[in-house]
Chains A and B, each alone.
Chain A
Amino acid sequence: PNGGITEYIKTFQHIAKRQTLKAANKFFGLMENGEKREIAWNKSSVELNRASRLHTRLFIVEAFARRVNEIGDITIKEALSDLLHLHVNYELLDVATYALEDGFMSSTQLDYVRDQLYFYLQKIRPNAVSLLDSWEFSDRELRSVLGRRDGHVYENLFKWAKESPLNKTDVLPSVDTYLKPMMEK
């Protein structure tokens, strides 16, 4: 089920590597041109942080893929493979500039990535609620009227509103003290 993931990982590796070497070269280059180390570091810091983000996102993708590969249960593996595919396509679209700028990826390939993303959105749709039910949060833990497991949202929203401390009395002291006298003037 993980066919193709390797090529995605290689692409993430390529862009993380390229950005790291580019940012490091900028830093080393500034120093070679006479900048003090601290100044060179500051002047390279946005590019360096970009490298850090790409390196980290690569680790996350790899960790996700490693875990999916370890799973034996076919139905679980397939559901998680769908999520993994969605993940790599979404992440790659988010950082596509880095893959496009040196021609490592073409715009045709990017269109394929987009199509894959929409394909997996649709494929995941029947599993969406269950993928979240699987975290097994009780209503007590979630503390959300909107997210109730039984889905009885509207009647409970009304019940929740009625519990508002403002609804303990029909007329608030602020009305008696300020608004009413103002309106009576």
Chain B
Amino acid sequence: NPDLTAERLTATFDTHAMAAQIYGGEMRARRRREITAKLAEIPELHDSMPLPYMTREEKIMESARKLTVLTQRMSEIIDPTDAGELYHLNNEVLGIEGNPMALHGVMFIPALNAQASDEQQAKWLIRALRREIIGTYAQTEMGHGTNLQNLETTATYDIGTQEFVLHTPKITALKWWPGNLGKSSNYAVVVAHMYIKGKNFGPHTFMVPLRDEKTHKPLPGITIGDIGPKMAYNIVDNGFLGFNNYRIPRTNLLMRHTKVEADGTYIKPPHAKINYSAMVHVRSYMLTGQAIMLSYALNIATRYSAVRRQGQIDKNEPEVKVLEYQTQQHRLFPFIARAYAFQFAGAETVKLYERVLKEMKSGNVSLMADLHALTSGLKSVVTHQTGEGIEQARMACGGHGYSMASYISEIYGVAIGGCTYEGENMVMLLQLARYLVKSAALVKSGKASQLGPLVAYLGARSEPTSLIDRV
């Protein structure tokens, strides 16, 4: 299309060099291109028809088909131990609508990584990485969402048999929403309030077998299924899960930080927020994921705005590209800037998370609270603004944006799921507010020197007026 070619000729920079900035280095950007080129040659990994024309069951079947091909051929396309390459491969092949193992990679394996002891990792993590078992992370409940303190699922320790008895006493206690819980997973890391000798030790994580490994049928004492269609993300079988006095061995409590001895002795974790690590992990990576979805929509809208001609700015001139209108630029360009800002802020946060994880493994959890507060705020602001940006992109495409041919409504639906999963945005903002109020109290009491680096500005002296346009 000559209009798009003309746009590409006016650029002042090399897009490969810019890609290196976006993806954290020239090597990473080049690998993405190589993976894309390799995939172009493997038709079994392409959509067999446009996804919007498929039913939910057809999409799940299509996705499972591609997953099996990927499992066989993955190592010839990517380095499977490289999370960045795996993420790109998934986006290209499986897309954003999810897949039967979506949570296996982003929640189950990281939870085992962070919370299982070395012996437990040897037992389960290896099998998970080999895809011999499929797992998910089940915390959220129907009646309480992700509010940890009010979860109703209990895990009561039976000293006589050295087992934990998992139970969901009411409908509201059902695990509700966890991705891939409904039909695909046969294991889950389950969060439940742990009781020993009548005392509640609070929420803890347990490795729980859900389905028979041979038949994939639910195990006795387990009620499990899909929660039905959602606004988007419908390839994921978000599920419900109930326990009827379901017994698991004591050693299925994830014991990297917490331990329960055979006699019921409880050894507490070094830090109360240690069990948040799986959520902090997802929130850290969510930012770059949101940046990518925002960029999807902006790519579509901006390219289309360079192709679409409508109306005249000067009556004596021919119809112009709609991208020439200042209103269209004002609609799209600030969100292009935000997409880059989210990507860069996300990359910084992921680095911080990796540092915290490393320090946690050696017992230092001091940065966890800071990171938890920061990622809570970032997750809320970024998902909200990403939703706004995708909606602007859709409207920038006029009527065609409303067609599934644009795919923008699916991108929107998937992206704004992030406003509620991993903690509802308002709750997350208040989480950060708690940290800010504590910091404000330090300032008020003259202890500004104790402020963390992220809030040091709260105690700093500022100029009486802004110097914007005065310097």
Which A residues lie at the B interface, using CB under 8 A? 4, 7-8, 10-11, 13-14, 16-17, 20-21, 23-25, 27-28, 45, 48-49, 51-53, 55-61, 63-64, 66-67, 71, 73, 75-76, 78-80, 83-84, 86-87, 90, 92, 99, 103-106, 108-109, 112-113, 118, 120-122, 124-138, 140-153, 157, 160-161, 163-165
* Majority secondary structure, B binding face: helix
Q: Knowing that A73-B13, A113-B469 are A-B contacts, what are 8 other residue pairs whose CB atoms are under 8 Å apart, sorted by A's residue number?
A: A21-B443, A59-B454, A67-B348, A103-B465, A129-B302, A129-B306, A134-B18, A136-B33
Interface string of B319-351 (1 = CB under 8 A from A): 000010010011011101110111011011000
Closest B residue, CB atoms, query A86: B337
In the complex, are the beta carbons of A125 and B51 less than 8 A apart?
no
**Cβ-closest 3 pairs across A and B:** A151-B1, A147-B300, A130-B11
Interface string of B203-242 (1 = CB under 8 A from A): 0000000000000000000000000000000000000000
Chain B residues whose C-beta falls within 8 Å of the C-beta of A80 in the assembled complex = 21, 340
In the complex, are the beta carbons of A127 and B13 less than 8 A apart?
yes
- Given that A7-B468, A48-B437, A130-B11 are contacting pairs, would A160 and B306 also be in contact in the complex, using a CB cutoff of 8 Å? no
Of the A-B pairs whose beta carbons lie under 8 Å apart in the complex, a sample of 29, sorted by A's number, is A4-B471, A11-B468, A17-B462, A23-B433, A48-B430, A60-B342, A64-B341, A67-B348, A79-B13, A84-B337, A87-B340, A99-B466, A120-B333, A129-B8, A130-B13, A131-B18, A132-B303, A134-B15, A135-B19, A135-B22, A135-B292, A140-B36, A140-B39, A142-B407, A145-B407, A146-B401, A146-B406, A151-B1, A157-B405
In the complex, are the beta carbons of B1 and A147 less than 8 A apart?
no
In the complex, are the beta carbons of A87 and B334 less than 8 A apart?
yes
In the complex, are the beta carbons of A132 and B336 less than 8 A apart?
yes
Chain B residues whose C-beta falls within 8 Å of the C-beta of A134 in the assembled complex = 15, 18-19, 22
Residues facing A in B340-398 (CB within 8 A) are 340-342, 344-345, 347-348, 374, 377-378, 380-382, 397
Chain A residues whose C-beta falls within 8 Å of the C-beta of B407 in the assembled complex = 142-147
In the complex, are the beta carbons of B377 and A59 less than 8 A apart?
yes
Chain B residues whose C-beta falls within 8 Å of the C-beta of A53 in the assembled complex = 377, 380-381, 429
Chain A residues whose C-beta falls within 8 Å of the C-beta of B1 in the assembled complex = 150-153
B189 within 8 Å of A by Cβ? Answer: no
Chain B residues whose C-beta falls within 8 Å of the C-beta of A52 in the assembled complex = 377, 380, 429-430, 432-433, 436
Instruction: Report Cα–Cα, A105/B468, bound state, in Å.
Output: 8
Instruction: Report Cα–Cα, A152/B5, bound state, in Å.
Output: 12
Chain B residues whose C-beta falls within 8 Å of the C-beta of A163 in the assembled complex = 49-50, 53
Give which listed residue, A11, A51, A59, A161, contacts B345 with CB less than 8 A: A59
Chain A residues whose C-beta falls within 8 Å of the C-beta of B302 in the assembled complex = 128-129, 132
Instruction: Report Cα–Cα, A92/B329, bound state, in Å.
Output: 18
Chain B residues whose C-beta falls within 8 Å of the C-beta of A24 in the assembled complex = 436-437, 440-441, 444
Closest A residue, CB atoms, query B439: A20
A177, chain B: closest CB distance, angstroms: 21
A22, chain B: closest CB distance, angstroms: 9
In the complex, are the beta carbons of A87 and B341 less than 8 A apart?
yes
B129 within 8 Å of A by Cβ? Answer: no
Closest B residue, CB atoms, query A42: B430
In the complex, are the beta carbons of B303 and A149 less than 8 A apart?
yes
Closest A residue, CB atoms, query B308: A153
In this complex, the member of B7, B15, B95, B333 whose beta carbon has the largest number of chain A beta carbons within 10 angstroms is B333
Instruction: Report Cα–Cα, A135/B348, bound state, in Å.
Output: 18
In the complex, are the beta carbons of A148 and B46 less than 8 A apart?
no
Instruction: Report Cα–Cα, A53/B429, bound state, in Å.
Output: 7
- Given that A4-B468, A49-B433, A152-B1 are contacting pairs, would A86 and B380 also be in contact in the complex, using a CB cutoff of 8 Å? no
